[in-house]
């Protein structure tokens, strides 16, 4: 019984160590922002990168209520802000949806195996309404 | 989040509000137009109540400019009929925020045409029946749907006496940043809420109406154009018998 417990503890320690190494290398290593997006030219997101990686959904969930119910549009964590900054432009100057294969949101969610339901309702590119006569 | 107030308290507050409005004559100095439109950074308050006055005498039979402008503004024109759908059914069920309605006086035969949309009630039945709190009335009087918590039960569609709400039946490819929209949620006119929050002073339908039949403004400001117009000429709520105190008023019916 005790042996099993020890083994379990070792496994946990090893797994934690592996996770830490991975997180560290991800934070320092290759950048995941997409070339051709505004974010590519910036040093950091609205919060430090490791924090954004871990908590972006919580930030968004909190601020969405403030925007919908109180009408505040200057929140720090807005999905429209994410899209505006992270959507890349293709060769023709058109925005590529952040949900397209290999794009910022999609690639990481694909890797992590997490659904990305924001964009079933929200626009995956920055858009503007066409005014009369356009 | 939800400001649940029981009906008695509501009545008391509204009576108190009326008394206050009657005694205070010249406020609203600070609310006067800000020169530059900036996104809202402070929470909306009940100092403002947005509403509309629609003059049906000016509304032209057959004209749909307000409907077209609304659909363009709020991305409804991007919706396409799902493949294999019945065109008649699509036409009957497709989301619309404004409908042109014709009413006929049975006795005199007088026909009136008017745009019909969410009436932005003070006591919205849609909010009363909503099981999740998704239907709500914002502090500034705009009745809207928080689609993050809407479960698509459509009770509000049943409860609305004005048939103002639409349901999104299918997945949607194209949508605007200012008007998120997806399968399984209910929606209706929100008085161009993105314009409100960006400091603009008009709605898309008001801008589009060549006849000037639609007047949008702050009902709580006695000096606003809409308040003055409401004081000067007769106007009515639709289904006033329901005592919903609608934010949209009509003239000429």
Q: What is the CATH number of the domain that holds B55?
A: 3.30.70.20
The burial class, CB within 10 Å (0-12 / 13-18 / 19+), for B27 is middle
- What pLDDT, in 10s, does the model give residues A47-91? 999 999 999 999 999 999 999 999 999 999 999 999 999 999 999
CB atoms A73 and B75 under 8 Å? no
Could you list the residue range(s) of the whole structural domain that residue B113 is in?
Answer: 43-251
Q: In this structure, is residue B184 part of a structural domain?
A: yes
**Which three-class secondary structure state does DSSP give residue A33?**
coil
User: Do the domain assignments include residue B58?
Assistant: yes
* Count of structural domains within chain B: 1
Angstrom distance (rounded) from CA A79 to CA A93: 22
Query: Is B146 inside any structural domain?
Result: yes
Closest residue of B to A99, CA-based? B173
ipTM over 0.90: no
- Are B56 and B251 within 8 A, CB to CB? yes
pLDDT at B104: 93
Question: A133 and chain B: CB distance < 8 Å anywhere?
Answer: no
pLDDT tens digits along A72-84: 999 999 999 999 9
pTM: predicted TM-score of the whole model, two decimal places: 0.79
For chain A, the domains span 1-28, 31-120
When the pLDDT of each residue in chain B is averaged and rounded to a whole number, the result is 89
How high does pLDDT run on average in chain A?
81
Q: How far apart are CA A95 and CA A102, in angstroms?
A: 14
* DSSP per residue, B117-185: -----SS-HHHHH-SSS-EEE-TTS-EEE-TTT-----HHHHH-TT---EE--S--S--BTTB---TT-
* Higher per-residue pLDDT: B172 or A22: B172
* B148/A68 touch (CB, cutoff 8 Å), yes or no: yes
Tell me the pLDDT band of B6, cut-offs 50, 70 and 90.
low
Task: State the pLDDT confidence band at B74, using cuts at 50, 70 and 90.
Answer: very high
Rounded CA separation A80/B177 (Å): 7
Q: Do B176 and A123 touch (CB under 8 A)?
A: yes
């Amino acid at each position: 019984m005790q042996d099993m417990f020890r083994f379990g503890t070792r496994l946990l320690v090893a797994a934690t160590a592996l996770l830490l190494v991975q997180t560290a290398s991800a934070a320092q290593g290759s950048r995941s922002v997409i070339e051709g997006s505004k974010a590519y030219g910036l040093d950091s997101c609205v919060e430090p990168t490791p924090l954004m990686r871990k908590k972006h959904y919580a930030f968004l969930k909190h601020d969405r209520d403030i925007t919908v119910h109180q009408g505040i549009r200057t929140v720090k964590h807005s999905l429209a802000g994410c899209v505006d900054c992270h959507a890349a432009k293709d060769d023709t100057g058109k925005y590529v949806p952040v949900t397209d294969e290999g794009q910022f949101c999609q690639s990481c969610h694909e890797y992590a195996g997490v659904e990305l339901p924001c964009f079933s309702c929200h626009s995956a590119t920055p858009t503007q309404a066409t005014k009369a006569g356009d | 989040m939800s400001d649940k107030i029981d009906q008695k308290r509501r009545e008391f507050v509204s009576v108190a509000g009326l008394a206050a409005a009657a005694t205070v004559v010249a406020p609203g100095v600070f609310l006067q137009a800000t020169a530059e439109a900036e996104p809202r950074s402070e929470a909306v308050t009940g100092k403002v109540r947005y509403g509309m006055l629609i003059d049906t005498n000016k509304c032209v039979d057959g004209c749909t400019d307000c409907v077209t402008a609304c659909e363009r503004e709020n991305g409804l024109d991007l919706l396409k009929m799902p493949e294999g759908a019945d065109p008649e059914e699509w036409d009957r069920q497709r989301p619309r925020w404004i409908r042109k309605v014709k009413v006929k006086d049975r006795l005199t035969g007088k026909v009136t045409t008017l745009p019909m949309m969410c009436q932005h009630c003070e006591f919205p039945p849609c909010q009363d029946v909503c099981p999740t709190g998704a239907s709500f009335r914002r502090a500034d009087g705009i009745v809207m749907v928080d689609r993050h918590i809407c479960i698509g039960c459509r009770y509000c569609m049943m409860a609305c006496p004005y048939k103002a709400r639409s349901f999104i039946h299918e997945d949607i490819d194209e949508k605007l940043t200012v008007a998120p929209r997806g399968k399984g949620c209910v929606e209706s006119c929100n008085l161009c809420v993105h314009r409100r929050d960006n400091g603009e002073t008009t709605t898309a339908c008001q801008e589009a109406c060549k006849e000037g039949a639609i007047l949008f403004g702050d009902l709580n400001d006695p000096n606003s154009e809409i308040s003055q117009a409401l004081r000067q000429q007769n106007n009515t709520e639709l289904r006033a018998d329901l005592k919903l105190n609608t934010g949209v008023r009509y003239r000429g019916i």
